[in-house]
Each structure stands twice: as C-alpha cells, then as structure tokens.
Amino acid sequence: MTSYLKTTILLAGLTAIFMAVGFLLGGKTGLIIAFVMALGMNLFSYWNSGDMVLSMYGAREVDAYSAPEFHGIVARLAERAGLPMPRVYIIENDQPNAFATGRDPEHAAVAATTGLLQRLTPEEIAGVMAHELAHVKNRDTLIMTITATIAGAVSMLANFGLFFGGSSNDERGGNPLGMVGGILAAILAPIAATLVQMAISRTREFEADRIGAEICGRPNWLADALTNIHNSANHIPNYQAEAHPATAHLFIANPLSGASMASLFSTHPDMGERVARLRAMAARSGSFSGGFGGGGRFGGSQTPPRDGRSPWGAPPQGSQGGFMPQNRRGPWG
C-alpha cells in the first residue's frame, strides 16, 4: 500500500469518526448533520486552513528586506526543490519549531519560530526548511491542515456531548444510547481522532525527512537540527500549541509538553529513529556529494568555502549580506 493511499484511507477514517460522534449524539439526524458539517469543513479547510493556522499562532509575514537571511535560505531551497517561492512567516515563540501549510505549492507558506532562528545554526535552519518544503512538494500540507480542522472539530463535538449528552430515542431516529452515547463520544472520539492523526503524521514525516535531506543535499544538517530541536523543545513550552493541540502534528517536532494530555499520544515518529535514518542516508550517499556547485546528483564538494561564505551562493537582492546574522539573534524582521 502506497503512503498516499494509506493517508487517504486514514483521512476518510477521521471523517468517519466525526460522523460517528454525530450519530452517538443525535442518531440518524446527528449522522446526517455531521456528514454535512464534514463536507463543509473540508471545503473551508481547502480554501482557508492555511491562513487560519497561521493566524492561530500570530505568524508575521516577512520578505527579503525585513528578514533577508532567513528569507534567502527559503528562496534558495525552493529553487533547488523546483517549487514556487512560498510565503515566509515568523512566529514569536521561544520553542524551536517550524511548520508548512497551504492547499498546494502555489499557495504554500512556511513558518519558523524565533526560537528556532535564534538557537539553530544556518545549516540546521536550512535542513529544517528543506523538510518543510518537502511537505509542500509532497502536497502534505493540505492533508495535514484538513486533519487538524477535523480533529479539532471531533474534540469540540465530543466535549459538547459530555456536557449535554446524546438525544434520547424517538420516532425521528434519535440516538438509542442517549446519555451513554454522549459519554462514549466524549471519551473515545478524541482518542480515536488522535490515533488517526498519529498515523497520518508519522506516515508523512519520514518521507519529508528523506526528501528534505535531498533538497538541502546534507542529511546531517537535518539530523543535527532535529537533535537540537528535541533537546530544546522538551524544556521550552509552546503555549500556543497547548491551546490548539489538534495542530501539533503540523510541526517538525512535537510542540506539546508533558503537562498536556494530548502529549500522551505523540503525533510524531520517535526522534531517535528519524535521526538514525538521516545519519544512515548521509553514510550511504556521502551527503549526495553535498554539492551546491557542479558534479554528483546535487553537484559540488562537501568542503565549505575557505572564506567562510555559505555554499548557497550570494544572498538575494535586497539583502544586507551574509547567510545569517553574526550575532545569531536577528534581524528577524
């Protein structure tokens, strides 16, 4: 079974869970209402989910003038990946993390936290953004944002059932389980939705790691970044993600702390396994000959220029120069 087929089946399963909650709360009538709502949410998510998620996190759009180094990294990676230039955003958050969103490559956006830009090296940031662009290239972003929307709606509907219970059985096809149905929906539906989110995210994360390593040409850049993100994120809370746990699977690393019940069901693969796979890629392929020049699949030598300049070439027009700022703290716009 291909990963895309598996993801489609899992997404259909998540929609089915939403409809099942509707049935438990309102019988046949609730099932029909939930079905109509699921269709409406999918359509809404297709057109608006990207902007909605960015708004949740207070993301601020930047360009080659307001954040030249970071914007330049994304621009060069997008060119290497053969993708249109996505919109670039920065989130004011100390936890190092990042995500991509948008319905297709032509309407994509990538976002990184200030914590990631301040704590990671330029090479590690490039590895992270290559991973996010891999999600864009694979068209994972639409699936993952729709998943977040439906999973959030499942939890909301289940909580409604906990407070108000299911409708009683009547001639109009009410829920035969009554209050029991509401309690079952409140307990089981969020768990089932989270399990489906886990399966979808884990299916796509390994593939994004692999393709992201190919885009940047250096698997070890991404491996180092994941290690540093994991070590830092465990000690730095992400309060925005805690308030919107259904969006946790969008991030490159689980943003939820141990204080959240949602963190008991991690939506991400084991970080150690991800890093090990990337190290193995680097060992097998010699980091694809590491190139940003000529030769090899990606061309060039792994040896960085002696003058300390980035192997990515000149900064974009409008930049004040440099791959990343020397003080490692900005300017981030």
Q: Which residues are catalytic?
A: 132
Q: What are the distances in angstroms from CA 3 to CA 6, 131, 203, 251, 252?
A: 5, 17, 7, 19, 18
Number of C-beta neighbours around residue 78 at 10 A: 23
Closest CA to 228 of 328, 135, 121: 121
CB 305 within 8 A of CB 234: no
Evaluate whether 308 touches 315 at the Cβ level (below 8 Å). no
* Secondary element (H or E) of residue 276: helix 271-285
Tokens found for residue 63: 């360009």
Amino acid identity, position 40 = G
DSSP state for residue 29 in the 8-state scheme:
H
**DSSP conformational letter for 329:** S
